[in-house]
A = this chain, B = another copy of it.
């Protein structure tokens, strides 16, 4: 059983800034849930019955078309919020990319709780505004960037998301290895590219000495400065 007091994302999730009593109340309406990689939490278009906080793992939000084309519209990391409060239907599917732990709330309970706790709503607002900014930045990538620019941008963003230390210590020459929690297909779905194009661009960056690919799922940034140049604006 998890409780809010011992939660690892206690101070970064929307629950931050809440006092002991509030937290206890929130704890009574939420429950932990484990998800395996590939498991779906919400389906696009279904009734919005629940919302959640990510404790651990990475999940994708995606929209798709009848013919199977899919676009990943967001990636969700620990302490991020999932779901659509105050709305009737879930506008995107949510699927775990890695084994994950989430803290789930019935939407009805959460909505009520939020309305009664302005501090929580404020946190949620700030988070939603930040997410909107990030999403809009991604639109520039999808609408205007080349395949190489897209992959370079993606590798930079993901390396920063997975190691927050990189943000505060942006040594452009620093070597840096990390695991990509995505298959090539999923990278393509994020970037609006096919799997083959993604693969070719990986190979090209490696051939040019910008990155190395020690294994299928890991990347080493050899020349961050060059990678940034290739990411474009």
A positions within 8 Å CB-CB of B: 61, 63-67, 69-71, 73-74, 84-87, 91-92, 115, 118, 121-122, 124-126, 128-133, 135-140, 142-145, 191-192, 232-233
For A126, give the chain B residue with the smallest CB separation: B86
Is the Cβ of B87 less than 8 Å from the Cβ of A129? yes
A-B contact pairs, 19 of them (CB 8 A): A63-B139, A63-B140, A67-B232, A67-B233, A69-B140, A69-B144, A69-B145, A70-B144, A71-B140, A74-B136, A85-B129, A87-B129, A121-B125, A128-B129, A135-B135, A142-B142, A142-B143, A143-B192, A144-B192
Min CB gap A50→B, angstroms = 15
> For the complex, what is the distance from the CA of A135 to the CA of B138, rounded to whole Å?
10
Min CB gap A139→B, angstroms = 5
Set of chain B residues within 8 Å of A138, measured between Cβ atoms: 139
Is the Cβ of A91 less than 8 Å from the Cβ of B137? yes
For A117, give the chain B residue with the smallest CB separation: B118
> For the complex, what is the distance from the CA of A173 to the CA of B86, rounded to whole Å?
33
